[in-house]
Amino acid sequence: MVKSQIQILPNPKQIQNPKSKTFWDLEIGIYLVVLVLLVVLGFLCGCQSRYLYKDSRVMMGTFVEVTSPDKQAAGIAFAEIKRIEDLLSKYKPESEVSQLNKTGKIKASPETIYVLKKAKEFWLASEGAFDITVGPLVQLWGFKDKNYYVPKDEEIKKILNLVGFEKILFKDNDNVVEFSFPEMSIDLGAIAKGYAVDCAIDKIRAAGITSCLINAGGDIYALGNRFGRPWRIAIQDPRGKKFFAYLELENQAIATSGDYEQYFLKRQKRYAHIFDPQTGYPANSGLVSVTVVAGDCLTADALATSLFVLGKDKGQKLAEKFPQTKIKLIEIKDIVKYGE
């Protein structure tokens, strides 16, 4: 049957002449049209499944951007990040953190306790370099309301009495958190965004979504991959507008801490928003930027800040406690070289 069809195929000239069309000519024409339609349809479907939805919002004091082939991903992420923000932001008066800062004592939710205990782990691991009790320092130097000021040594010394994680007391089977001094305050700016990204990714996974990138002001998680290829993350040049390097990630988090986004200049000197809790001054360890790649975003976030405070040499010991992480330190001397 098939063979005989082939035998009576018209020659190309016949196809060009409509008058000489046979039943078989028409059938081949239909086959061709169907084939072309299928190719076009396949192409369109292919294009559609390669489409990435992108949405961004200002949340937790930064731009949160969600990229995914799944339209639902951004909505799920924003809802979850808002929930964490309502719980942990020092700028939301109703948050548990604001209540604790206001009254010096609260009965906290298990989730807040979880984040505080995580912060304690990094405080211990970094031997005090990572310390969420820097709140009074952040305020004194004017970073809370962008009213920058270089305090006098005596002022810093006085404020340092309110700094130190050992002054946070956990009571009643860890249900109650109390400050040793009511004037103390905590600031989860170096860990809460990472935690929020992890929570959002958990929700996105639970919804069956397998590919998504969340970027909360440089705290990033790359879920799955991007149409079979790893997500590509650009690392910003700390002293320029260009990108410094690219990293390829799949199911990993990345966070960067640096002195180039929140800082002020006074008499040619740069004062940035990450403090050395030992001195009460902005960290001055010779680094301009620290990037950490880890399995979860909370770890990447907290480690990047800790290493920024500790610097290259002291940070070595801390880095060794996290063998699964990849760390990139950019030193001031690298920047000088880079600028030449």
Name the residues that contact ligand ADP, by CB under 6 A.
130-132, 134, 138, 187, 189-190, 217-218, 257, 261-262, 273-275, 277, 301, 304-305, 309
Tokens 């339209």: give the residue: 71
The residue among 67 and 89 lying less far from ligand ADP, judged by its C-beta, is: 89
The residue among 108 and 298 lying less far from ligand ADP, judged by its C-beta, is: 298
| Closest separation in Å from C-beta 229 to ligand ADP | 27
The residue among 224 and 258 lying less far from Mg ion, judged by its C-beta, is: 258
Within 8 A by CB and 6+ apart from 112, the residues are 87, 88, 96, 97, 177
Region binding Mg ion by CB under 5 A among candidate stretches 9-17, 52-60, 157-165, 184-192: 184-192
Indicate whether 325 belongs to the interface with Mg ion (CB under 5 A).
no
Within 8 A by CB and 6+ apart from 228, the residues are none
Name the residue with the smallest CB distance to ligand ADP.
Answer: 189
Query: Scanning residues 248 to 307, which ones bind Mg ion (CB under 5 A)?
Result: 301, 304-305
From the list ligand ADP, Mg ion, none, partner contacted by residue 217 (C-beta under 5 to 8 A by kind): ligand ADP
The residue among 65 and 261 lying less far from ligand ADP, judged by its C-beta, is: 261
The residue among 170 and 263 lying less far from ligand ADP, judged by its C-beta, is: 263
Rounded to an integer, what distance in angstroms lies between the CA atom of residue 9 and that of residue 18?
15
According to CB under 5 A, which one of 137, 190, 287, 292 is a site residue for Mg ion?
190
| Closest separation in Å from C-beta 197 to Mg ion | 11
- Going by their DSSP bridges, the two strands 219-223 and 231-236 should be labelled as unpaired
| Closest separation in Å from C-beta 62 to ligand ADP | 7
| Closest separation in Å from C-beta 309 to ligand ADP | 5
Please say whether the beta carbons of 87 and 61 come within 8 A. Answer: no
The residue among 141 and 231 lying less far from ligand ADP, judged by its C-beta, is: 141
The residue among 115 and 190 lying less far from ligand ADP, judged by its C-beta, is: 190
From the list Mg ion, ligand ADP, none, partner contacted by residue 287 (C-beta under 5 to 8 A by kind): none
Indicate whether 237 belongs to the interface with Mg ion (CB under 5 A).
no
| Closest separation in Å from C-beta 193 to Mg ion | 7
Indicate whether 126 belongs to the interface with Mg ion (CB under 5 A).
no
| Closest separation in Å from C-beta 298 to ligand ADP | 11
Residue numbers at the binding site for Mg ion (CB under 5 A): 190, 301, 304-305
